[in-house]
Chain A
Amino acid sequence: MASITFYSLGNADSSLIEFADERLMLIDYYKGKEGDEEEDKRVNLPDELRSVLENKDRDYFDVVAFTHRDSDHVQGAEEFFWLEHADKYQGDDRVKIEGMWVPACFILEEGLKDSARVIREEAKHRLIKGEGIRVFSQPNALDEWLNSKNIKPKDRAHLITSAGTCAPEFTKEKGEAEIFIHAPFRFQVDEEEIDQNKASLVFHITFFEGERTSRAWFGADTPYDIWEKIVYKTKAKKRIDRLIWDVFSISHHCSYKALSVEKGGNKTEPVENVKYLFDQGQSECYLISSSMPIPSEDTDQPPHKQAAAYYEGVAGEKGDTDHFLVTMETPSIDNPQPILIEIDKNGLTWKKITGIATGVAAVVSRPSQRQGSINVE
């Protein structure tokens, strides 16, 4: 059995996949809540992840994928992970990364700051070292960068995976899953000015359970024009099975820009190929928006109510409008909790209650709030 957990982090992403062979893959990292502010309903991701690892007697993830370098996908990672490139990022409490996944542009981009800069340095260190890394797409610029480090690109070819192929770490026999890489495309990284959202890591996972399969999309902050290209190319290659899905991690925190150039009045109408993609949802499929609650008014920033209306419509057409889930609304706006979806021979099951630590289990899985005699006479 496999599972996917979507964490409630506001307009930010982090999802954890546990594969059938118990390997753990974290997709993006955003530290979330800090401090004890009651109004801040986001989870504290480091605490959540440490609790997961502790229950599994582990101090590492098998894979940590950073889909792109925006702060809502990497912030605080340098405080949480054991990073090999500098001593100051190493300590007993830090969590190790067996395999780091990044799109090529993450390594190539200059001028990064804060968490993104540190993670880029770690990725570079690992690529130079030749282990513990997988880079997605092989633009010319990456070859040039490797040459500049006196490394022959062919000596690192085994660490680089191009769009249109599967990541070699997972197969039907190894992990009972295939991870098919749809993007980034090579040409996007070689463009003079890199648009991070357009050069993000986008992949599609097929989970095998005996003869049955279930499929999931992870699309980072990918805009509609890249989705169009992904669908166009996949259809052209007659790989429709790589478009079908049972759970879709909605792009860009429910922004209309992931669907179309036009926001629409009440509902965003997706461009043709994007609509085709959402038509591939299977019966009772799930659409997960990693975002703040859906507003009732029109807003500039995501989540956009128009996009939400479209996604909710897709969920309804496929069997259940309640399967459009917003991380900061589930189960309630007052008390959002991680969304756990289990995948087994019966398909997908949203573990509404039984998968979530409540009561005693919740209290003893997290640090307490601040207590103590301050202000007491």
Chain B
Amino acid sequence: MSSDFYTFGEPVQFKSLKYRRTIEFVESVNKHNYAKLRMILKKDGLECVEFDVSPERPTRPVADIRKLERICVIFEEDENKKPFVLALRKSFPATLLHLNLGDYGGPRSLCLFEEDYRSIAHTLTPENFLLRIFSWLSRAASGEQHLPDQPLEPFVIVSEKMIFDPVDLAQDFRDRLLAVVLLEEKPNPIYRVESIPLKDLPKPPCFIAVPIITDPWHSRIINDTPTSLAQLDILLRQVGVSLIDKLQSKTIETFGKKFHEILMDYSWALILILPKKREDEAEIESVEHFAFFVLETIGSLGQKLGVLAKHNESWGRIIGDATPTALEGCLIKAIRPICSFNKNLANKLAGLMMESTVKITAVGAGAIGSHVVSNLARQGLGRWFIIDNDQLLPHNHSRFALSPHYEGKNKAEALSLEIATLLNDESAAKGFARDVFSFDKNIQEAKECLSDVKHIFDFSASPGVSSHLALLPDRSPITSVFLLQEGRVLIIISEGIQQKNRLDDLEIQLAVATIENADLSGLLRATGGPRIRYSGACRDVTTILPQDIVATQAGIASQFLKKNISNELCSINIWSLSEENLEISRRSVETQSVIVKSVGEWEVRVSQRTVNLMRKYRKAKLPNETGGVLLGCMNILAKIVYVGTVLPSPRDSEEWPTVYIRGFRGLRKTVERIKAETGQNLTYVGEWHSHAGAVSARPSEDDIKAHSKFAKEMGEEGYPSVMLIQGGRGYPCVLLGHRSQYQYV
């Protein structure tokens, strides 16, 4: 009997689960009011959680989202890999936005993350992850998945890429052919469309481009990737194209050409040109391109199309009505065309200062990273380990340090190759085409790149990466370099050789400085500036960041790093480029020590400033007690709570010699403003209050009761709650509650 739902894996008991993420996710499903666990399954080393969820669904839903949707979340052991979320109902709509592509006709995979999963994993609780699923379904039900100002969804989404010039598609090359040649095969194939004389055509397998212009397309849908010509034909009929007719006529046309016998062993690359509209009556808003490789030779396909026949190794044309057969079995492969970069890169790097063999690791070879490394390497500084898993794509040329010659290559390897070539020294740089998270698995490489180097320069601009690096044991000192405010602000946070202050603590101190110093106000606030799409895929977006600004900031950064690579003490420095008069100003943030308390499995890291402020506010309110809230952030993966500063008592609070009730007037807005001002780096993490007189900072019964209430409420979102109690002397007492565990030190 066929079921209405897909299933995934074999049922197992809860106690057999091994992955922390799966265990915590099951617990969050069990306590969720609108989710119900169905079963736990395993398959091929994957752990799967199947549950029903009841989303927020309007009485007149826009999409076919049911009262109960059956979902399966699939976890891998590697916590840096995002979990897959599948809608198991077989009739789950295929035309919703933000679906990943699955197998043709398989369960729908929900696309929950706009951002790189690894950059948010350390802040994502299982409760929040479940909330993302809940919200995804709720927004789908009410038609709110896509905002009006977002670009239209692509026709289909695929991962393999093909670089091409749209102008070429409209040209008649007469004695040349538009061929699709392979640039790089691994790790992901990248192709390029080139016009090539027939005689220079690479040997098969090679593809001959067939541009196909469709009718304007307006639905915002992501379809399954068609895998056969028959499926593509059905898809293209929706946009006014009869693929079979088109291929029949193209085959006949080719058959009429000179040397057609040679071409019979090549294959077609179908390049779709899709004009897109937002609505039926709207103007054409964009043109999208897609390509499909036909995995069959032109000759063989011609036979199936009913227009060619082969006899005694010779091809002949069938006259009369053609009857296509077996097109379902004629496989195709979708690839994503990316318009080629048409501008030359101007490399204006300066420098030739000193030569050094000091070992340096650069994590991230993006805009700022590639330039700084290139600047320093061109001055002969450093023997480099460069870590980055990205490949170089056309849009990178606008601000990457290398030329389009490296297009398709891994950035780290390309940069290494460039440096090695430049310095004529193979050992000058070594590239690692991987992300830094993967270094955990190779002790030798981790030691070589992260422990035995003089310095680690973190250019990743990723909170996930910097957090990962900061917490690595026995590592070299880190200096973090990143740009903000569309490149106008450069920030360099350096631990110093002594490593007395850790990068993660210094980052919190920077965030605190931005809310407490007027001249740094808004520094970390997200600008929300425009983003550019460089292909049709959801996540293929990049920011506007002019090369001249990158170059300016990279020049400062490379000079600073060069001068301070041996500096013993930590520092936080900020350079701002004035748009008006192009002046550059520098400010620095005073750094402080951090008090570290271990509370159960958790670590609470309290800045000295927090303690100083609590003491100050306490003194001002004596003989009464006072209090307020703690601001900081959390690393859920590493179980760390950072307390960066405090807010004083709201004006509606009640303050007595032995009692404190924290009010809330203006508090939520203040916390939300600070969260926005600091780009989510500072938010509420707990409560503080003072004990007056000679009373110790030990928690009272009331304190423990109040704290358990806070912890329960914070626990709704999976977060721990911290309470600090400041007495008359010494450091505060620290209480931490998480998932019904309450402890204090």
Q: Which residues of A contact B (CB under 8 A)?
A: 36, 38, 47, 50-51, 54-55, 93, 212, 214, 246, 282-285, 320, 322, 331-332, 344-354, 358-377
Contact = CB atoms under 8 A, between A and B. Distances in A.
Contacts of A353: 33-34, 56, 131, 134-135
A368 B710 contact: yes
B58 A344 contact: yes
Contacts of A50: 664-665
Interface in B642-674: 652-653, 656, 658-669, 671
A360 B695 contact: no
Which are the 7 A-B pairs with shortest beta-carbon distances?
A359-B717, A347-B59, A331-B33, A346-B58, A368-B662, A369-B706, A347-B60
Interface string B681-723: 0011001010111011011111101100110011011010101
A352 B59 contact: no
B625 A373 contact: yes
A376 B727 CA distance: 11
Given A365-B668, A374-B702, A377-B696, A346 B60 contact: yes
Contacts of A51: 664, 668
Given A369-B661, A370-B659, 18 more contacts: A47-B664, A55-B669, A283-B59, A348-B58, A352-B33, A354-B135, A360-B714, A361-B668, A362-B713, A365-B664, A367-B661, A368-B627, A368-B710, A371-B660, A372-B659, A373-B625, A373-B691, A377-B696
A36 B706 CA distance: 9
Given A346-B62, A360-B719, A375 B661 contact: no
Contacts of B684: 360, 363-364
A370 B716 CA distance: 21
B61 A346 contact: yes
20 contacts: A36-B705, A36-B706, A320-B67, A344-B142, A346-B142, A348-B59, A349-B141, A351-B56, A354-B138, A363-B629, A363-B684, A363-B687, A367-B661, A368-B627, A371-B662, A371-B706, A374-B658, A374-B702, A376-B695, A377-B695
A372 B33 contact: no
Nearest to B127: A359
Contacts of A345: 60
Contacts of A362: 713, 716
A47 to B, nearest CB: 7
Contacts of B665: 50, 54
A36 B134 CA distance: 32
B108 interface: no
Contacts of B689: 371-372
B668 A373 contact: no
Interface in B7-40: 33-34
A358 B661 contact: no
A371 B134 contact: no
A368 B700 contact: no
A375 B58 contact: no
Q: How large is the interface on B (under 10, 10 to 19, 20 to 34, 35 or more residues)?
A: 35 or more
Contact of A322 (B54, B135, B671): B54
Contacts of A347: 58-60
Contact of B658 (A349, A360, A373): A373
B719 A54 contact: no
A369 B702 contact: yes
A358 B134 CA distance: 15
A316 B327 CA distance: 49
A54 B714 contact: no
A51 B650 CA distance: 14
Contact of A363 (B142, B625, B700, B713): B713
A360 B717 contact: yes
A363 B702 CA distance: 17
Contacts of B659: 370-372, 374
B658 A282 contact: no
B57 interface: yes
Contact of A349 (B56, B629, B662): B56
Nearest to A356: B716
Contact of A372 (B652, B658, B709, B710): B658
Nearest to B68: A322
Given A283-B59, A320-B67, A358 B713 contact: yes
A176 B135 CA distance: 28
B56 A352 contact: yes
Interface string B473-514: 000000000000000000000000000000000000000000
A364 B671 contact: yes
Contacts of A358: 713, 716-717
Contacts of A369: 661, 702, 705-706, 709
A374 B700 contact: yes
B166 interface: no
B151 interface: no
B67 to A, nearest CB: 6
B275 interface: no
Contacts of B138: 349, 354
B143 interface: yes
A47 B664 CA distance: 9
Contacts of A370: 659-661, 702, 705-706
B394 to A, nearest CB: 39
A364 B691 CA distance: 21
Contacts of A375: 700-702
Contacts of B713: 358-359, 362-363
Contact of A376 (B60, B135, B627, B691): B691
Contacts of B135: 353-354
Interface in B96-136: 131, 134-135
B692 A373 contact: yes
B660 A372 contact: yes
A367 B683 contact: no
A372 B60 contact: no
A364 B695 contact: no
Contact of A55 (B652, B668, B699): B668
A54 B664 CA distance: 10
A84 B691 CA distance: 41
A246 to B, nearest CB: 7
Nearest to A357: B668
A329 B632 CA distance: 35
B703 A372 contact: yes
Nearest to A318: B59
Given A246-B59, A375-B700, A367 B67 contact: no
A367 B665 CA distance: 9
A372 B688 CA distance: 10
Nearest to A320: B67
Interface in B526-543: none
B729 to A, nearest CB: 14
Interface string B448-471: 000000000000000000000000
Contact of B664 (A331, A346, A360, A364): A364
A214, A283, A354: residue with the most chain B Cβ atoms closer than 10 Å: A354
B550 to A, nearest CB: 36
A322, A344, A347, A353: which has the most chain B beta carbons within 10 Å? A353
A331 B135 CA distance: 17
Contact of A284 (B59, B131, B669): B59
A34 to B, nearest CB: 13
Contacts of A331: 33-34
B714 A363 contact: yes
Contacts of B696: 376-377
B629 A350 contact: no
A363 B665 CA distance: 12
Contacts of B719: 359-360
A54 B714 CA distance: 21
Given A320-B67, A358-B717, A361-B668, A352 B698 contact: no
Given A54-B665, A360-B719, A364-B629, A282 B703 contact: no
Nearest to B710: A363
Nearest to B31: A332
Contacts of A377: 695-696
A354 B665 CA distance: 23
B700 A376 contact: yes
